[in-house]
Amino acid sequence: MFCATLESFPDISFQMKEAYQQAQQFLDDIFRFARLDLHAEAGEGEGGCTLNIDGEDSLLLRSEGGELLDALEHFVNQAFARGLSEGERFICDVHGFRAMRETELRAMARHAADRVRSTGLPFFFGPMSAGERRVIHLALADEDNLFTESVGEGNARRLKVSLKNPTKN
């Protein structure tokens, strides 16, 4: 099993290196306690630390749209993100699930944009996590004729894509 050492991260501060190690050990301890065949490996990623998780039980983390993976990521960020630089966070991933999901969300954003343009009617996505809504907001941010907004509360929060209102003279 890989265990990150301070030397594994030569380009980051001591405090961040410690946070990376602690987060990795935390996840490994959870997996061991839960008797799951999983292990985490910390690495520098875009926007912070990526904790890549692998093992025989990895399918469990990808099921239900990655809900357990999201929960672990949230838990790790609550516990250890204060050790990272401002704007950085921990990202938990398993077998490239995050990249695949982001690609899927971008395709869904393009589909919604095309539909709104062709029908003129707003398009509502189903309930999504804040991170998933953010991917779609960013994917459509440069679309001059479209407007995106999050609507709803709590776990029922969704994303709405609509045409921008024409300016009135």
Which CATH number covers residue 56? 3.30.300.20
Residues 91 and 108 in one domain: no
Residues 14 and 34 in one domain: yes
Which of 95, 117, 152 corresponds to the end of one domain?
95
Residues 105 and 143 in one domain: yes
For the entire predicted model, the pTM comes to 0.71
Of 65-74, 101-110, 115-124, the least confident: 65-74
Q: What is the pLDDT of residues 45-104, one digit of tens each?
A: 777 889 999 999 999 999 888 889 999 999 999 999 888 888 888 999 999 998 898 999
Residues 59 and 116 in one domain: no
DSSP string, 107-141: HHHHHHHHHHHHH-S-EE-----HHHHHHHHHHTT
The pLDDT value given to residue 8:
53
CATH classification of the domain holding 150: 3.30.1370.50
Query: 167 falls in which pLDDT band (50, 70, 90)?
Result: very low
Residues 83 and 123 in one domain: no
Give the span between the Cα atoms of 161 and 62, in whole angstroms: 27
Residues 156 and 122 in one domain: yes
- Can you say whether the dihedral through the CA atoms of 132, 140, 127, 102 is positive or negative? negative
- Which amino acid, one-letter code, is at 36? L
Residues 29 and 87 in one domain: yes
Give the span between the Cα atoms of 135 and 126, in whole angstroms: 14
Could you tell me the residue range of the domain that residue 111 belongs to? 100-163
The answer to whether 91 and 78 have CB atoms below 8 angstroms apart is: no
pLDDT, the chain, mean:
87
Q: Which residues contact 146 (CB under 8 A, 6 or more apart)?
A: 113, 116, 117, 140, 161, 162, 163, 164
What H or E segment, with its residue span, contains residue 32?
helix 14-33
Q: What is the pLDDT of residues 1-55, one digit of tens each?
A: 444 544 555 555 677 788 899 999 999 999 999 999 999 999 887 778 899 999 9
Residues 58 and 112 in one domain: no
Q: Is 25 left (phi over 0), alpha (psi -120 to 50) or beta?
A: alpha
Which of 47, 66, 95 corresponds to the end of one domain?
95
The answer to whether 137 and 148 have CB atoms below 8 angstroms apart is: yes
